[in-house]
A and B are shown apart, each in its own frame.
Chain A
């Protein structure tokens, strides 16, 4: 019999979404036991890397309106966002900014003591609330520290969740490995919030933490929940070379220029009204076009890039407002932005897609919610605006935390715990992976998956590339690579890495199939062979359900309330 522990509420993932949910739940009912389970140590989640800002309307007296935030979000999404969901985000956000502030968030301030905001791409008002340029880090710290107030929140640091246990309808627990000891556990619970974050490590050139792999998405997918809109991947215009670490959009929000080889602010040819502050998909495409047409630079590692020029901001302003990227740029590319422009290139940065949920974050299993980047409640549609993601994490963290408590407080008829599923899972990971065999190095398989996506499903896509990519992924899948050389129990990251790679294959497949099927260009998904948006045939979401052979693809309608889709121009 496997070791077993029990909580009322299990929160998988401790990024912004997970921690916000934990606080909301703990506050709402101090009696329920909450377990926050994360494969990293709790405060080390990917969210600490978020840099630029969190969008919210807090300057109504200066002329900002919630309405405008909603419209910017919907327009930014290329009209694929569910408009009621976008509305919920924008309405709930202002209060959350103040709530974080009351908990200790060190927001940057104006001289008069009020919270300051900066410009961000795609907005018609400067509404990215910031704290220097380490917004996610400070938010994580604020939430982590606030969690310390509550005795009913328990942190399970470095527990790798492998699967969701349910009886076909209702949630009953998860299975997980405690990394430090290597013990396999069943964690029983009444409700689950999945907040396992994005999966951008399926691309090799990526801003994400190395822990941002799709195992969270994959466990929901294997549990029968749909992945939605996975073909929409956001490429941030300014990943620094060669590491791919992000240079925040705030750098352009503060006035930075993008330059091509002729020293020209080329964005004037692509989005004259917004220039460098057009939405990310547009800027990234512009950069790729410039490079493809020979107006890029060649970095000393051999790849093409563009220059991000901050010199005119001056050293003092760079230090005061962009200290984090100054540090990154000096350390990781030997460039002080006050003296030299930074070498940048579009980089995988966000997944608009995720676990299919409704407006409340509820998933397709009873007792399961999803929040944050792992979820796809369709607030971002085909392209997320910068600073809207941390907002999303916080808002749906709060919503799902609260709804999960309501659910737990109600009486439920609980069916017999499906122990056989735990046995099956144990077999899958121990016989199939831990004791698996094969002669191909799994880490090289990982490199190939991520290189494939980088090559074949980057900013611009086309049918033959995507099909090639899919073929390559399937070849890799068929190889005998699934094995773990490290036989120790304790802190066996070789084992967890191979499980991550296993999930990458399945999710990469969904991304590619989704992209092949969507024969149009919308938001982050730009097809050279179908260069225009096609509302008649593709104004719908994509759903993918797990099947051992091949994902089962379905369509899902877009909720349109006030804003009829129009051509998207900046």
Chain B
């Protein structure tokens, strides 16, 4: 019984792409938030390591900077910028929601039921954040390649 009660969908339930069409943009924002959070953490650790080279003198510092001076490096940095913008923007949306703002007011629901918490404001916010992230990536690329 105990073992049986552990039934769960597993990682499939997180990454299965068909979910996002069925459960809406909020669910997509959810997985992006996870991925960008982890991505940023990975970058951050790398970043701390990279900056530590400052202690090893100019040559090493420059050499480590060189690592990202390639095309791949630029794309990687642009991704980081994008992740950062999305994670920050969506993070602010989530925090506002989790503090109780912008959810609409509880009240008698009328059929056909439209969940108020998944309102247009929130959805617009997600699309805007994705747009902003794309913009920032584009700008970053322009600076780096330019």
**Minimal Cβ-Cβ distance residue in B for A330:** B111
Interface residues of B in 63-82 (CB under 8 A from A): none
Instruction: Give complex CA distance A339, B59 in Å.
Output: 80
Interface of B is mostly: loop
What is the CB-to-nearest-CB distance from A517 to chain B, in angstroms, rounded to a whole number?
Answer: 46
- Does residue B108 face the partner (Cβ distance < 8 Å to A)? yes
Instruction: Give complex CA distance A320, B110 in Å.
Output: 9
- Does residue A326 face the partner (Cβ distance < 8 Å to B)? yes
Measured between beta carbons, the chain A residues less than 8 angstroms from B108 are: 132, 319-320, 323
- Does residue A254 face the partner (Cβ distance < 8 Å to B)? no
- Does residue A154 face the partner (Cβ distance < 8 Å to B)? no
Measured between beta carbons, the chain B residues less than 8 angstroms from A326 are: 110-111
What is the CB-to-nearest-CB distance from B7 to chain A, in angstroms, rounded to a whole number?
Answer: 14
**Minimal Cβ-Cβ distance residue in A for B113:** A327
**Minimal Cβ-Cβ distance residue in B for A324:** B111
Interface residues of B in 57-114 (CB under 8 A from A): 108, 110-112
**Minimal Cβ-Cβ distance residue in B for A316:** B110
Instruction: Give complex CA distance A327, B110 in Å.
Output: 8
What is the CB-to-nearest-CB distance from B145 to chain A, in angstroms, rounded to a whole number?
Answer: 57
Measured between beta carbons, the chain A residues less than 8 angstroms from B110 are: 319, 323, 326
Instruction: Give complex CA distance A319, B109 in Å.
Output: 9
Instruction: Give complex CA distance A327, B112 in Å.
Output: 8
What is the CB-to-nearest-CB distance from A325 to chain B, in angstroms, rounded to a whole number?
Answer: 10
**Minimal Cβ-Cβ distance residue in B for A327:** B111
What is the CB-to-nearest-CB distance from B91 to chain A, in angstroms, rounded to a whole number?
Answer: 36
Instruction: Give complex CA distance A323, B111 in Å.
Output: 8
What is the CB-to-nearest-CB distance from A504 to chain B, in angstroms, rounded to a whole number?
Answer: 34
Measured between beta carbons, the chain B residues less than 8 angstroms from A331 are: 111
Most chain B CB within 10 A, of A326, A327, A330, is at A327
In the complex, per-residue mask of B102-131: 1 if CB is within 8 Å of any chain A CB, else 0: 000000101110000000000000000000
Instruction: Give complex CA distance A327, B108 in Å.
Output: 13
Instruction: Give complex CA distance A320, B108 in Å.
Output: 8
**Minimal Cβ-Cβ distance residue in A for B112:** A330
Interface residues of A in 321-346 (CB under 8 A from B): 323, 326-327, 330-331
**Minimal Cβ-Cβ distance residue in A for B109:** A323
Interface residues of B in 22-71 (CB under 8 A from A): none
Instruction: Give complex CA distance A331, B112 in Å.
Output: 9
What is the CB-to-nearest-CB distance from B67 to chain A, in angstroms, rounded to a whole number?
Answer: 60
Instruction: Give complex CA distance A319, B108 in Å.
Output: 9
**Minimal Cβ-Cβ distance residue in B for A328:** B111
Measured between beta carbons, the chain B residues less than 8 angstroms from A132 are: 108
Measured between beta carbons, the chain B residues less than 8 angstroms from A320 are: 108
Measured between beta carbons, the chain A residues less than 8 angstroms from B111 are: 323, 326-327, 330-331
Most chain A CB within 10 A, of B108, B110, B112, is at B110
Instruction: Give complex CA distance A55, B82 in Å.
Output: 63
What is the CB-to-nearest-CB distance from A551 to chain B, in angstroms, rounded to a whole number?
Answer: 44
What is the CB-to-nearest-CB distance from A119 to chain B, in angstroms, rounded to a whole number?
Answer: 21
Instruction: Give complex CA distance A326, B111 in Å.
Output: 8
**Minimal Cβ-Cβ distance residue in B for A329:** B111
What is the CB-to-nearest-CB distance from A458 to chain B, in angstroms, rounded to a whole number?
Answer: 32
In the complex, per-residue mask of A556-567: 1 if CB is within 8 Å of any chain B CB, else 0: 000000000000
Instruction: Give complex CA distance A320, B111 in Å.
Output: 11
What is the CB-to-nearest-CB distance from B9 to chain A, in angstroms, rounded to a whole number?
Answer: 21
Measured between beta carbons, the chain B residues less than 8 angstroms from A330 are: 111-112
Instruction: Give complex CA distance A53, B27 in Å.
Output: 40
Instruction: Give complex CA distance A330, B110 in Å.
Output: 12
Instruction: Give complex CA distance A533, B51 in Å.
Output: 99
What is the CB-to-nearest-CB distance from A240 to chain B, in angstroms, rounded to a whole number?
Answer: 15
In the complex, per-residue mask of A434-463: 1 if CB is within 8 Å of any chain B CB, else 0: 000000000000000000000000000000
What is the CB-to-nearest-CB distance from B97 to chain A, in angstroms, rounded to a whole number?
Answer: 26
**Minimal Cβ-Cβ distance residue in A for B110:** A319
What is the CB-to-nearest-CB distance from B74 to chain A, in angstroms, rounded to a whole number?
Answer: 55
Interface residues of A in 162-193 (CB under 8 A from B): none
**Minimal Cβ-Cβ distance residue in B for A318:** B110
In the complex, per-residue mask of A71-97: 1 if CB is within 8 Å of any chain B CB, else 0: 000000000000000000000000000
Instruction: Give complex CA distance A331, B111 in Å.
Output: 9
Instruction: Give complex CA distance A326, B110 in Å.
Output: 9
Instruction: Give complex CA distance A319, B107 in Å.
Output: 12
Instruction: Give complex CA distance A556, B64 in Å.
Output: 100
**Minimal Cβ-Cβ distance residue in B for A326:** B111
Instruction: Give complex CA distance A57, B112 in Å.
Output: 35
What is the CB-to-nearest-CB distance from A314 to chain B, in angstroms, rounded to a whole number?
Answer: 14
Measured between beta carbons, the chain B residues less than 8 angstroms from A319 are: 108, 110
Measured between beta carbons, the chain A residues less than 8 angstroms from B112 are: 330
Instruction: Give complex CA distance A373, B13 in Å.
Output: 44
| A/B interface sample: 9 pairs, CB < 8 A | A132-B108, A319-B108, A320-B108, A323-B108, A323-B111, A326-B110, A327-B111, A330-B112, A331-B111
* 3 closest residue pairs by CB, A with B: A327-B111, A319-B110, A326-B111
- A sample of 11 more A-B contacts (CB under 8 A), given A326-B110, A330-B111, is A132-B108, A319-B108, A319-B110, A320-B108, A323-B108, A323-B110, A323-B111, A326-B111, A327-B111, A330-B112, A331-B111
